[in-house]
C-alpha cells in the first residue's frame, strides 16, 4: 500500500442559505445571505483525502465550461488533488441548492448537470489501476461507478459511500470491499431485519459485502468485518455549525488511511474519519470546512485507541 487514492464522483457548486428553519412545501421564508462554495460529494471526498488524510489523491469527475468549474478546480487544486482526469463537458457544472438551519442541519437538492457525464476513459482507467483505494459515491451514473471499481488492480480496495440512497445493482454489490453508510442508508439497503439496531443492520449488510463502516452521528460509528467482531468507535463532542459535507470528509479520510494500511487498519481509519467529520461540522461549507491532517490526528488521539 503506497497511499494512493482515486475518488470517482460528483462536483457541485453549493448555493447555501442559512434559514431559521427549513421551509415546508408551498411555503416561502426569508434566509440569510447567499454563499457560493465548492461542494459535491466526490469533490468533497477528494479534498478531504488530500488535505485531512494526506493521501496522493486523484479526482475523476466532469465539469462544465463555466465559472463554477473554475471555482471547483481552484478548491481541488488548492488541496493538492490531481485534476488531470476531470473531463470538461458541454453541460453546466453540477449545482446543489442547500439550506442550513441554526442547529447545523441541512436540506439539499442537486441539479447534476455535468455529473451525469462522468466516465472512465483510458486516462482515468490508468490512474485507477495505480490506486490503492478507489472511492465512489452515488451522485454519478451507476455504470460509471461499476466501471471504476472494475479497473482497480488486484489487492486494491473499492470503498463505496452509498449516498445519496439508491438501489444498488448486483454488478455493484459484488465489487464493494468496504461499504460506508449512515443508518438510514443502511436500512434502505437491507430487507427487514429482526431489530433495527446498527449492529443488526451491519450484520445484514455483511451478507453482501466484506466490511461495513456505519456512521451514527453523535454516537460515532460502527465498524464490522465479515468473520470479525463489531467495533464501536466513539464520537468527538463538538458544537455543530454546519453538517454539510461532514460525511464526505469522513469518507475521504477513511480512504486515505486505508490506502496506507489496507483493511487491517479499518478500525483506526474509522477513528481518524470520525475525528475529521467532527471537526468539519464546526465550520461552514463543505470543502471549506475540511480540517488539516494535524488537527485530525490530534482529535483522534483523544478518542482513545481503537482495537
Ligand atoms: O454531502 C454534501 C454534498 O452533497 C454537498 O456539497 C452537495 O454538493 C451535495 O453533493
pLDDT in tens, 31-78: 999 999 999 999 999 999 999 999 999 999 999 999 999 999 999 999
Beta strands in the chain (DSSP E): 4-8, 12-18, 35-39, 56-63, 86-88, 94-100, 106-111, 133-136, 157-161, 178-182, 211-215, 221-225, 231-233
Q: Which residues pair with residue 98 across a beta bridge?
A: 16, 108
3-state secondary structure of 58: strand
Q: Which residues pair with residue 63 across a beta bridge?
A: 88
d(CA 71, CA 89): 16
d(CA 123, CA 141): 18
Q: Taking 70 as the threshold, does the pLDDT of residue 157 lie above it?
A: yes
Count of CB atoms within 10 A of residue 233's CB?
26
Q: State if residue 110 touches ligand 1 by the CB under 6 angstroms criterion.
A: yes
Going by pLDDT thresholds of 50, 70 and 90, the confidence category of residue 191 is confident
Which residue lies with its CA nearest to atom 9 of ligand 1?
40
Cell numbers found for residue 252 = 475521504
- Angle 152-63-164 from CA coordinates, rounded to 5°: 65
Q: What are phi and psi of 37, to 5 degrees?
A: -135, 155
Question: Residue 304's pLDDT is what?
Answer: 64
Which residue lies with its CA nearest to atom 7 of ligand 1?
40
Site to substitute for ligand 1 among 7, 62, 98, 118, most atoms within 8 A of C-beta: 98
Atom of ligand 1 nearest to the CA of 286: 6
Pick from 257, 284, 288, 285: nearest CA to 270: 257
Cell numbers found for residue 171 = 454488478
Question: Residue 307's pLDDT is what?
Answer: 45
- Reported as type and span, the H/E element at residue 69 is helix 67-78
Site to substitute for ligand 1 among 286, 287, 290, most atoms within 8 A of C-beta: 286
Mean pLDDT for 173-190 is 96
Count of CB atoms within 10 A of residue 183's CB?
18
Q: Taking 70 as the threshold, does the pLDDT of residue 110 lie above it?
A: yes
Q: Is 248 a catalytic residue?
A: yes
Question: Residue 306's pLDDT is what?
Answer: 46
Mean pLDDT for 168-185 is 97
Mean pLDDT for 107-132 is 98
Atom of ligand 1 nearest to the CA of 14: 8
Going by pLDDT thresholds of 50, 70 and 90, the confidence category of residue 195 is confident
Amino acid at each position: 500500500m503506497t497511499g494512493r487514492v482515486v475518488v470517482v464522483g460528483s462536483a457541485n457548486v453549493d448555493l447555501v442559505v442559512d434559514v431559521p428553519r427549513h421551509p415546508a412545501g408551498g411555503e416561502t421564508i426569508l434566509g440569510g445571505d447567499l454563499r457560493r462554495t465548492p461542494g459535491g460529494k466526490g469533490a468533497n471526498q477528494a479534498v478531504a483525502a488530500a488535505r485531512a488524510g494526506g493521501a496522493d489523491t486523484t479526482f475523476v469527475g466532469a465539469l462544465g465550461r463555466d465559472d463554477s468549474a473554475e471555482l471547483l478546480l481552484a478548491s481541488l487544486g488548492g488541496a493538492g488533488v490531481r485534476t488531470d482526469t476531470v473531463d470538461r463537458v458541454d453541460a453546466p457544472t453540477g449545482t446543489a441548492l442547500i439550506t442550513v438551519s441554526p442547529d447545523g442541519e441541512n436540506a439539499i437538492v442537486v441539479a447534476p448537470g455535468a455529473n451525469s457525464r462522468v466516465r472512465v476513459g483510458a486516462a482515468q482507467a490508468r490512474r485507477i489501476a495505480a490506486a490503492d483505494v478507489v472511492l465512489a459515491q452515488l451522485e454519478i451514473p451507476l455504470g460509471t461507478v461499476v466501471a471504476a471499481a472494475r479497473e482497480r488492480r488486484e489487492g486494491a480496495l473499492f470503498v463505496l459511500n452509498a449516498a445519496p440512497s439508491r438501489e444498488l445493482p448486483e454488478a455493484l454489490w459484488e465489487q464493494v470491499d468496504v461499504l460506508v453508510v449512515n443508518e438510514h442508508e443502511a436500512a434502505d439497503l437491507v430487507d427487514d431485519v429482526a431489530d433495527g439496531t446498527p449492529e443488526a443492520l451491519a450484520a445484514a449488510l455483511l451478507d453482501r459485502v466484506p466490511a461495513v463502516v456505519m456512521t451514527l452521528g453523535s454516537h460515532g460509528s460502527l465498524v464490522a468485518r465479515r468473520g470479525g467482531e463489531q467495533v464501536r468507535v466513539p464520537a468527538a463532542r463538538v458544537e455543530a455549525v454546519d453538517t454539510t459535507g461532514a460525511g464526505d470528509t469522513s469518507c475521504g479520510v477513511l480512504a486515505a488511511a486505508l490506502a496506507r494500511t489496507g483493511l487491517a487498519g479499518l478500525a483506526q481509519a474509522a477513528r481518524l474519519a470520525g475525528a475529521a467529520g467532527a471537526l468539519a461540522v464546526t465550520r461552514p461549507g463543505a470543502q471549506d470546512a475540511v480540517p488539516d491532517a494535524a488537527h485530525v490526528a490530534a482529535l483522534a488521539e483523544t478518542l482513545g485507541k481503537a482495537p
